[in-house]
Structure 1
């Protein structure tokens, strides 16, 4: 479990970061976007750190209350989850 968690969170965070950059690029170029529901679902699965970094770096979705309020909650939720998984 201790070796799988860093791999999982590393992969999914990289995916979240990449999708944030892709969605920003698509927004600038007026192309087809990734639905907000799908991005939030990915963050709920653990991509919140990578997506949060992408939000700050690409300045993407930072005006959306849905994202700015849910990111810290998802991060706290996953920190608690990891703590529980590693403790027990």
Structure 2
């Protein structure tokens, strides 16, 4: 079971990074962009590590507001939930 969860997380974060890269390329070429809601949705369902890494690697959406605030809020909520799940009861 854990193998499938790890594999799913790797695939999801890889897909998230790919979509950020594609959006960056589309921005450079002046083509139709990937909606920010799609990128944030990927982060929300578990792709936030990939989103943060992609922002850093591709220098994309690093100053865009309110996108940056929403992404960081998603990350903080996920970290809080993760800590809550791992704390002993």
Structure 1 residue 2: Cα displacement = 1.7
RMSD of the TM alignment (CA)?
2.3
After alignment, is 49-58 or 74-83 more displaced? Answer: 74-83
Unpaired segments ≥5 residues, structure 2: none
Higher relative contact order, chain-length normalized (CA < 8 Å, sep 6+) = 1
TM-score normalised to structure 1 length? 0.80
Deviations 1:23-61 (A, max 9, x none): 000000001110001111111011111111111111110
Q: Secondary structure, in 3 states, of the residue corresponding to 2:31? A: coil
TM-score between both structures, scaled by the size of structure 2: 0.79
Larger Rg: 2
In the alignment of these two chains, the number of paired residues is: 87
